[in-house]
Amino acid sequence: MPKLHPDQVHKFIVQTCEAMGSENTEAMLVADQLVEANLAGHDSHGVGMMPAYVEGVLGGRLQINSHPTVIVDSGPLLTLDGNAGYGQVNGHEAMDLGIERAAQHGVALVGLRNSYHIGRIGHWAEQCAAAGYASLHMVNVIGHPPLVAAYGGAEARFGTNPFCAAVPGRDGRPGFLLDMATSIIAGGKARVAANKGVKVPPDTIIDVNGNLTDDPNAFWYTDPTGERGGALVAFGDHKGSGLAIMCELLSAALLGGETAHPKNARDGRIINSMLSVIIDPGATGDAETFFEEIELFRDFVLDSRLRSDCDEILVPGQPEQIARLDRAEGFEVDPVTIDQLRSSAAKAGMKSGSVDGLLG
């Protein structure tokens, strides 16, 4: 498969966004997050999202050069409306405000509703960790047909509804970072697998007949009316399904945001709401003791005999660290996604010569 250097991809995203009218700061924030997702090994949330963003902008569903609006301001508690703007802008500005309030009050509760796709949630936890703060984040996904079936069901009823939590290390990087969809795989991973022509893990998708499968195309199946018939499976049976439902209600309904029921719009938008709690370790105890306990616990967890079917132990955040080392000089992008990027860049107004120079 073609291998692209991160700098190439970053320039491609910036130029695509600017071709549609984004100011440079906005284009840079979008490119920063998407490239970081690829570098962290999460191709489902990387440059492959650009075609959806282009369609959103050109269709008037994604608002460019938009910023979040403060709806509620009560000291450490903020509720923001993302106004369907780029999630990379909304998320960045929401975390900046939350970090500022946590510095003042020791803790901040930040609700962001009605944002366009906010991408890899770990990016926002990393922003908090870089400032020295612990954080947790709950997210819902609406605007297109639901993606995930409730436990026991055969039809999608909610999004992949991520949960993320991180504690900071001494060096400004997360000591631990847990970032996960509440489905076994993210919808974007099914897209990447379908584009590559490979299978997904067994029993992670429910086909239109209610059968478990490893065929990613079963997820994207559409009936004659255009309705998608497949669904993703929640992780851990009833546990993942229950956590997804609570993410739906706490990150959206609690903030005045929309949940995935059919009375809300299904017009191709990718809308997220996110509830974030940002905590200053120095406000709840001794920060030095906190860092020391993180390091001692990490060493204790990793210093264990291996299970018979495993060859290593990984703690939350380690897979991303390993991927960044492996991908620093470039990462693979499958030919189908390359074609989609070329097509979307043309729609955005980029000249073919510029696209060729960046994508090869």
Q: Degrees (nearest 5) of the Cα angle 241, 126, 128?
A: 100
* End-to-end Cα separation, the chain, in angstroms: 12
**pLDDT in the model for residue 222:** 73
Where along the chain do its domains lie?
Answer: 1-65+330-360, 287-316
What does pTM read for this prediction? 0.93
- Residue appearing with tokens 């590559």: 196
Following DSSP, what letter does each residue of 123-154 receive, concatenated?
HHHHHHHHTT-EEEEEEEEESSS--EEPTT-S
**pLDDT in the model for residue 79:** 98
**pLDDT in the model for residue 265:** 67
Facing residues of 166 across strands? 135, 177
Query: Following CA atoms 50, 51, 56, 57 in sequence, which dihedral angle do they give, to the nearest 10 degrees?
Result: 70
- As averages over each run of 10 residues, the pLDDT of the chain (360 residues) reads 92 98 98 98 95 96 98 98 98 98 98 97 97 97 88 94 96 91 90 91 94 92 73 96 98 95 80 97 93 95 96 95 96 94 96 89
**pLDDT in the model for residue 226:** 64
- What is the CATH topology of the domain spanning 1-65+330-360? Hypothetical Oxidoreductase Yiak; Chain: A, domain 1 (1.10.1530)
Question: Residue 102's CB: how many other CB atoms inside 10 A?
Answer: 25
**C-beta separation of 190 from 219 below 8 A:** yes
Among 136, 135, 145, 95, CA closest to 115: 95
**pLDDT in the model for residue 69:** 98
**C-beta separation of 31 from 69 below 8 A:** no
